[in-house]
């Protein structure tokens, strides 16, 4: 009985990992397209918007974003912000977005850069 429980738990973990694999993108255009779609969806996420509202982040912010091999943002450099945007808001948005993990991976050792503008409510 004990072995069946251990075996079934092991199988569930293995099967779960097989389905949890993220797609590997090798084409720069596809990486940028998927990344911008993911970031656009992030700006529609209710929890994300509540965090921005709580910190009173307003305006538009343009960043140069670098995506690394594990589907994470390795750097975000602020390029410009609108007149109604603030530096503390820019820093908060930067910290919040850098925690995001994309739904794809890229080959090990590769990184891609693109500009993205966040238009906050």
Percent pLDDT > 90 in the chain is 67
pLDDT top residue among 9 and 106: 106
Residue 61 sits in which domain range? 25-120
Q: Give the helix/strand (H/E) hosting 56.
A: none
Which pLDDT score, from 0 to 100, does residue 18 have? 46
Query: Do the Cβ atoms of 68 and 119 come closer than 8 Å?
Result: no
Q: Is residue 33 part of a domain?
A: yes
Count of domains forming the chain: 1
Higher pLDDT, 3 or 44: 44
Reported as a single tens digit per residue, the pLDDT across 45-95 is 999 999 999 999 999 999 999 999 888 999 999 999 999 999 999 999 999
Give the CA distances from residue 29 to residues 25, 37, 114, in Å, rounded to whole numbers and listed in that order.
Answer: 9, 12, 10
In this prediction, residue 71 carries a pLDDT of 87
Would you give the DSSP letter of residue 72?
A: B
Residue 88 forms part of a structural domain: yes
Residue 10 resides in a domain: no
By CB atoms closer than 10 A (0-12, 13-18, 19+), residue 10 is: exposed
Tell me the CATH number at 95: 3.30.2420
**Is residue 41, in this structure, part of any structural domain at all?**
yes
Asked if residue 4 is part of any domain, the answer here is no
Q: State the average pLDDT for the chain.
A: 87
Assess whether pLDDT exceeds 80 at residue 6. no
What are the E-state strand segments in the chain? Answer: 23-24, 59-67, 73-81, 104-105, 112-120
């Amino acid at each position: 009985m004990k072995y069946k429980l251990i075996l079934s738990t092991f199988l569930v973990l293995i099967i779960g990992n097989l389905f949890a694999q993220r797609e590997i993108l090798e084409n720069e255009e596809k990486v940028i397209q998927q990344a911008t779609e993911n970031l656009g969806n992030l700006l529609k996420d209710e929890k994300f918007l509540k965090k921005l509202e709580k910190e009173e982040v307003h305006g538009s912010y343009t960043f140069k974003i670098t995506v690394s091999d594990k589907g994470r943002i390795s750097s975000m450099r602020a390029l410009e912000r609108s007149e109604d945007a603030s530096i503390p808001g820019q820093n908060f948005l930067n910290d919040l977005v850098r925690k995001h993990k994309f739904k794809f991976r890229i080959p090990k050792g590769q990184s891609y850069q693109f500009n993205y503008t966040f238009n906050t409510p």
